[in-house]
Amino acid sequence: MKHKLFIALMSGFLSITANCADVIDRDKWILINEGDTTFYLKSAINNISYDKPFEISVMTPFNKDLNPDISNPNTLFRSDYKIDCKNYFYDEISTTEFQVVGNKLKTNYVNDKLKALKPNERYKLRHSFAPDAVVAKDVCSLSPDYKETKFKNPIQSGWTPIVVKQKINYINNADLKYKSLTKPFLLRVKSYETVGSNSRITTGLIDCKNKRAVPIRTSYMSNDFEYGSTSQVKLESTTVHEKDIHNIPEKRWGDMGGDATRGLSSICQ
């Protein structure tokens, strides 16, 4: 069962039911941001550090958009993470699913992700977060030494990180050599959808002059993890979106200011 809990932590838009709120022990759990409904384990707050990774636990409620496979709304999730604020990445250690029964929590499901992997495979638990993500603003900022810096990932050599909708994507450095402000050019963008997922690389046609972009094809890779070895990367499949890049209908183009391409607008500067 795959829960996108940390996406919720980064975007902060959950709504919590009265029953769920009643069973959360406020002596042990705290809301850092009153406008959010993500609860943090109080004892872990003292571990927050800028210079070294630390572990933190969060409690989040059921959300129909993030948990479409769960029918019971009286469900809570506890997730344990190791966070590195200085380098903007986290490891997803474990997830526990609870069902609210009366005023108590019944454990339904435990996924100890760290234990399930061999030590040399633990990079599969690692994922980046953007400097403007909620985890950076609400958690990392609690460290007195916190300072926002430029995101870097030495594993992704040949790719430059960019921020798209509070997530880190990567643009291909070789393609930037053909960048033009006057005519469209092709640009590959690599993304990782979930923790431990392989990459997908979307080749888009960028039109800086008219401030628009359109996806041409998407390639799905294997053995290409965000923080893992890329020596045995393999192309699994490709989806073609546009067969003729010289005759693309106007309605297929997207505004460079749109959600999907907002981070690409800086390329045209």
Q: Kind and range of the H or E element at 72?
A: none
Task: Please tell me the predicted confidence (pLDDT) of residue 205.
Answer: 94
Q: How confident is the model at residue 21 (pLDDT cuts 50, 70, 90)?
A: low
Between CA 268 and CA 241 the distance in angstroms is 23
pLDDT at residue 13 is higher than 70: no
Separation of alpha carbons 107 and 117, rounded Å: 23
Domain boundaries, the chain: 5-142, 159-268
Q: pLDDT at position 6, please?
A: 45
* Distance, C-alpha 118 to centroid of its chain: 23
At 44, the amino acid letter reads A
Tell me which of 2.160.20, 2.40.128, 1.20.120, 3.90.1720 is the CATH number of domain 5-142: 2.40.128
By the 8 A CB rule, do 97 and 108 touch?
yes
Answer whether 61's CB lies under 8 Å from 48's CB. no
- Counting residues of the chain whose pLDDT is more than 70, the rounded percentage is 83
Q: Higher confidence at residue 62 or residue 251?
A: 251
User: Which pLDDT value is given to residue 206?
Assistant: 94
Q: What are phi and psi of 34, to 5 degrees?
A: -65, -20
pLDDT-above-90 percentage for the chain: 45
Determine the length of the chain.
Answer: 269
Q: Which residue has the tokens 């033009």?
A: 180
pLDDT band at 63 (very low <50, low <70, confident <90, very high): low
For residue 86, the SS3 value is coil
pLDDT tens track for 68-110: 555 566 788 899 999 999 999 999 899 998 888 877 888 888 9
Tens digit of each residue's pLDDT (9 = 90 or more) over 117-166? 888 888 888 999 998 888 898 899 999 899 888 888 989 989 999 887 77
Q: Give the DSSP letter string of 238-256.
A: EEES-S-TTS--GGG-EET
Going from the C-alpha of 20 to that of each of 11, 23, 116, 230, the distances in angstroms are 20, 6, 29, 43
End-to-end alpha-carbon separation of the chain, Å?
42
In sequence order, what E strands does the chain have?
29-31, 39-41, 54-61, 75-84, 89-101, 104-112, 126-128, 159-164, 167-172, 185-191, 200-207, 212-222, 234-240, 254-255
Cα–Cα distance, 200 to 217 (Å, whole number):
10
**CA separation (Å) from 109 to 21, 23, 79, 106, 127?**
20, 18, 12, 9, 23
Structure tokens at 133: 């993500």
